[in-house]
């Protein structure tokens, strides 16, 4: 086996191992959101509430499927086979995933809005211990209100209006609001990254030399978006939200492979176009 072949095999296995770890994160987010779902207020809007409660699971599932579709199109399936029913099938699944990602974004936005309204606690927190109240430490992190921890809550304690029987310290509520806002920003940034990738793959690649200026502009926007995603991952890392940090780091690593796939795919199309021009 040559060094080039060995390097390619290592590259491929690292790539697929990353994809497998991202798939595993679906179950981690599902477990986390099931644990926190019981603190939400029951409403008649079952579908909207379900999306809001399980937005991270829905988001990760849709992104993993979309990632695998990008991999199939740019690195696995030859261009001459991406036709007819296969092509329309892939595009149909992609549209469904895109819809799910937008719905997840709205879920993140709704969760952030849920944490914004609050009111001061009237009376002693310890008087609510027997009523089944809970304490929000940060986003998706709750503990029962007990006789041991209720004494730490004074007159500045907040009742989280959007959640069922949940109180929080001002610092804990602010932390939850900030983490929820980072979720919104992170989700929006990823959506914009994929829009730019779609433009790059579907449009600019076919334009030839005329697309270079537009490609540079698109790449500049992507640099800003990737920088935003890195900042979000670092924020999660410092705030101790390991699952979000781990997931964000994996996704950034995975999109290195996607960008490389797109680059190689673009080069193949340019070579094919050049060969066709020479023949004609």
HSE-CB for 49 with a 13 A CA cutoff: 14
Is residue 106 domain-shared with residue 195, that is, in the same domain? yes
Is residue 188 domain-shared with residue 215, that is, in the same domain? yes
Is residue 110 domain-shared with residue 237, that is, in the same domain? yes
Is residue 151 domain-shared with residue 248, that is, in the same domain? no
Is residue 44 domain-shared with residue 21, that is, in the same domain? yes
Is residue 92 domain-shared with residue 221, that is, in the same domain? yes
State the residue range of the domain holding 129: 118-170
Confidence of residue 26 (pLDDT cuts 50, 70, 90): very high
Percent of the chain with pLDDT over 90: 29
Confidence of residue 62 (pLDDT cuts 50, 70, 90): very high
Is residue 16 domain-shared with residue 154, that is, in the same domain? no
Is residue 198 domain-shared with residue 127, that is, in the same domain? no
pLDDT at residue 71 in the model: 79
Is residue 175 domain-shared with residue 255, that is, in the same domain? yes
Judged against a pLDDT cut of 90, whether residue 225 lies above it is answered with yes
DSSP result, 153-193: --TT-EEETTBTTEEE-HHHHHHHHHHHHHHHHHHHHHHHH
Judged against a pLDDT cut of 50, whether residue 73 lies above it is answered with yes
pLDDT at residue 184 in the model: 95
Judged against a pLDDT cut of 50, whether residue 47 lies above it is answered with no
pLDDT at residue 271 in the model: 58
What does DSSP say about strands 134-138 and 158-160: parallel, antiparallel, or unpaired?
Answer: unpaired
Q: How many CB atoms lie within 10 A of CB 252?
A: 14
Mean pLDDT of all residues in 231-237: 93
Counting runs of H as helices and runs of E as strands, what totals does the chain give? Answer: 8, 5
Is residue 214 domain-shared with residue 90, that is, in the same domain? yes
For residue range 81-95, list pLDDT tens digits in order: 777 788 888 888 988
Domain count, the chain: 2
Confidence of residue 195 (pLDDT cuts 50, 70, 90): confident
Q: Of the candidates 75, 63, 70, which has an alpha carbon nearest to the alpha carbon of residue 91?
A: 70
Is residue 37 domain-shared with residue 110, that is, in the same domain? yes
Is residue 143 domain-shared with residue 232, that is, in the same domain? no
């Amino acid at each position: 086996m040559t060094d080039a072949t060995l390097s390619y095999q290592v590259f491929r296995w690292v790539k697929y191992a990353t994809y497998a770890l991202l798939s595993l994160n679906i179950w981690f987010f599902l477990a986390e959101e099931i644990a926190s779902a019981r603190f939400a207020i029951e409403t008649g809007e079952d579908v909207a509430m379900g999306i809001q409660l399980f937005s991270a699971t829905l988001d990760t599932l849709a992104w993993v499927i979309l990632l695998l579709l990008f991999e199939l199109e740019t690195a696995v399936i030859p261009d001459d086979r991406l036709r007819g029913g296969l092509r329309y099938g892939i595009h149909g699944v992609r549209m469904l995933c895109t819809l799910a990602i937008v719905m997840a974004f709205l879920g993140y936005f709704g969760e952030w809005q849920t944490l914004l309204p609050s009111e001061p606690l009237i009376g002693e927190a310890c008087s609510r211990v027997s009523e089944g109240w809970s304490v929000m430490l940060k986003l998706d992190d709750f503990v029962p209100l007990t006789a041991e921890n209720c004494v730490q809550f004074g007159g500045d304690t907040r009742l989280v209006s959007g959640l069922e029987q949940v109180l929080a310290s001002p610092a804990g509520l602010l932390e939850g609001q900030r983490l929820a806002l980072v979720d919104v920003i992170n989700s929006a940034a990823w959506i914009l990254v994929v829009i730019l990738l779609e433009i790059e793959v579907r449009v600019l690649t076919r334009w030839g030399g005329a697309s270079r200026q537009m490609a540079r502009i698109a790449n500049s926007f992507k640099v800003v978006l990737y920088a935003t995603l890195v900042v979000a991952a670092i924020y999660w890392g410092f705030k101790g939200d390991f699952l979000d940090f781990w997931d964000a780091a994996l996704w950034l690593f995975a999109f290195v492979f996607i960008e490389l796939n797109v680059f190689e795919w673009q080069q193949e199309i340019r070579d094919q176009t050049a060969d066709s021009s020479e023949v004609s």
